[in-house]
Amino acid sequence: ELKVEQNPLFLSMQEGKNYTIYCNYSTTSDRLYWYRQDPGKSLESLFVLLSNGAVKQEGRLMASLDTKARLSTLHITAAVHDLSATYFCAPGRLETSGSRLTFGEGTQLTVNP
Amino acid sequence: SQTIHQWPATLVQPVGSPLSLECTVEGTSNPNLYWYRQAAGRGLQLLFYSVGIGQISSEVPQNLSASRPQDRQFILSSKKLLLSDSGFYLCAWSVPLPGDRTDTQYFGPGTRLTVL
């Protein structure tokens, strides 16, 4: 059974600062997704990482994947208030029935002025 | 472009009552469809997924069931709700394409269910 551990679970940071969210998973996966969820809302896809060493960047967020270490990171650069949300990682496997994802517990990020 | 709808958006039901949540997808054909549940402050738990009409796979044994009567319609049901069924129910779709390993799942707006 695939287990996913995100840390930290809660993160409060000041605007302008940098920080990294970590996602560890227990068994081999061939892809990893990052999603964002605003309070009371649905999930929005941020990144999909498909190979070892993959790096994706969008604005102030950068995601990377190390399949050998079973680790993905989401790095936040010069945080702004609009980034306040909960971030989920979800490693998965592509099967004949589609991708099966296992979600972490999420990291609740609060960016303070 | 593709869109996904869920209804109702909010539902309050007494224990022991039946449940029917609906999800429809527009703008795509033969999607994979998924039902997830999110407990308050937690991650998502996959409940059911479907690769085609009438094809349902269950991930977690429980008092819920799912059906896919049409290509782009996915229904989550229960005959008798329990208190523990409260949560945020999210439907998602994906379309795996040949040669494209991305297969991102896109989520609907969700239904917030409270069982009293």
**Predicted local confidence at residue A97, as pLDDT:** 65
pLDDT band at B67 (very low <50, low <70, confident <90, very high): very high
User: Cα Rg for chain A, rounded, in angstroms?
Assistant: 14
Q: Which of A63-77, A84-98, B42-56, B60-74 has the highest mean pLDDT?
A: A63-77
**Predicted local confidence at residue B61, as pLDDT:** 67
Mean pLDDT on A92-110: 86
Tokens 């795996």: give the residue: B96
**Predicted local confidence at residue A99, as pLDDT:** 75
The minimal CB distance from B101 to the residues A31, A103, A106 is found for A31
A41 to chain B: which residues are within 8 Å by CB? 109-110
Mean pLDDT on B54-60: 88
Query: Can you tell me the distance from the alpha carbon of B113 to that of A30, in angstroms, rounded to the nearest whole number?
Result: 33
Asked if the Cβ–Cβ distance from B46 to A101 is below 8 Å, we say yes
Report the residue of A101, A102, A105, A107 to disrupt the B interface, i.e. the one with the largest count of B CBs within 10 Å: A101
b/e map of B63-82 (b: 16 or more CB within 10 Å)?
ebebbbeeebebbbebeebe
Query: Can you tell me the distance from the alpha carbon of A42 to that of A30, in angstroms, rounded to the nearest whole number?
Result: 25
Query: Can you tell me the distance from the alpha carbon of A3 to that of A5, in angstroms, rounded to the nearest whole number?
Result: 7
Asked if the Cβ–Cβ distance from B109 to A48 is below 8 Å, we say no
Q: pLDDT over 90 for what percent of chain A? A: 81
At residue A10, what is the residue type? F
H or E stretch covering B89? strand B87-94
**Predicted local confidence at residue B42, as pLDDT:** 86
H or E stretch covering A87? strand A85-95
A113–chain B nearest CA distance, Å: 24
Task: Look at residue B10 and tell me whether its pLDDT is greater than 90.
Answer: yes
